[in-house]
Structure 1
Amino acid sequence: MAEIGRHDPAVFRPHTDEKRRLRLPGASDEQIVWLTFLLAVGLIVQVTQVVMNHEPRESTWLLVIMMVGVGQALLFPAGVGMLGSLLTVTAWLLFLQAANVWGEHPRLGTVFEIAGLGLVLLLALAFRLYRQQEQEELGQLRALRQVLVAGEAGTGLFPAEVAALRLTEEVDRARTFGRPLGLMLIEILPRDDTEIDAATLAEIGRALARQLISVALVHDLPFRQSALRLGLIMPER
């Protein structure tokens, strides 16, 4: 026969790395739409201001500098984009100095123009960050879907990776809101004085899995940690 006993909870440790947290990308959809609108309006206002405050030749160069700055902020990673934005503002100031714009135009208008450029670049950087976060979260969802498909198909048990993600979330929720959280771990241990073949152990494991699923509530999560080790996450109890 086989002994069915509780497994040491210290052996099962959920992933606590923040990168393994599962966050739905829908949380940032509104921010992306809002940033897109602000970026479009900012570009229109900035282009209009440049065209009205400068000669055609100066306007052309300033618009080229601005478009290059916005483009690199949208395309490159955050660190590179921030450095590129600083270089864009520096190039803008150097061009104004070389073209003697400071002496020909009112300084207040030029200051507003530079502030507008900085705001447009910040909006572009924020858009890039939100899009990057959304793509990372979608990648996590795709990876999780692959784990689910490749896992315990047809048994009703979730893989250990899914259980680790769920347990991390439930532990945080229990600590934050003071709610109870139960975790049951079961291991099948063959007795030393008996010999059990692999087929018998597999049949015992399937029977145990059916019993575990039958006692699980709708919010519980039954999972398989290894071939002879099962578990059940029980939120709110």
Structure 2
Amino acid sequence: MSGGRTPGWTEQQTGIALCAVLAAACGLLAGIESGTFGLTALGITALCALAGLVFDGFIGLVVGLVCATAAVALKRYTGIWNPGEFLPAVALAACLLALGWAAGLAGAQARRAARAGDTGNGISAPVYGSLGLLTGEYARLRLDEEIARAREHRRPLGLLIIRVNLDDPGLSPAARQSAGRAVARLVESLLRESDVPFSLSEQEFGAILPDTGATTGWNVVGPLLDAAGRATFTDRSTQQRRPLSECAELQTNLVFHTERTPDADTLIALARESTQTAPAENRDPAETTRLRVIL
């Protein structure tokens, strides 16, 4: 990483900030209410935020809807409902609805980050720049854990490696880094919540895919590759955004744990192999499928 890079906000930080803003808005609307309803509305706000954090965005939205309905019903029950209370009630209901949704998203993202950063020894795993990708060292530790878990429970385990081959010699080092980060963002954001994205270099990324076999692997990876075909990046030398498809080729290798891949290094080495190496007759067909994507 270059020393001049200014980290941006991560998705997790953005979600927490949004929750804080919405919770403050709900608290303000509840605070202007008088008597018992105001205190109860504050309690409903706290309950909405805490309950939403336990679930994902969709269930959080349902939690927000329930809390909004409860607030409106309580307002009518306490006898303070009148035409002048309509707009404050609508504002409070809308804020509670949004708060439940935002809390659900923030909670899901926090759990994903915790799973990605849990290396089993209490060490917080570093990430690639401001993105939620493990570095190669910590990815290997996590992959060893997943291999042991897959072997113990007889569950499938996949590993995705994506190599970004930039074929435009005119790209500056900053533009090359920007192109790599465009792919890194896709890897971090478009896979499943259970997957663990990581970075091996500024042009090589991957993800650990628990409970994923050959029959479902490409269904998981397909949307990522489709999005890569439409992705753009900033070429700082021209201060313009360029399609990744103009100057990049993605070599995508999806491999699966077998008895011939007993540890992380072996599985990663298999995923990194060139399509020209290792004759097909010597390779277990269940181990790997490969795709070179011309964007």
Give the alignment's TM-score, normalised by structure 1: 0.49
| TM-score, normalised with respect to structure 2 | 0.41
Q: Which has the higher helix share?
A: 1
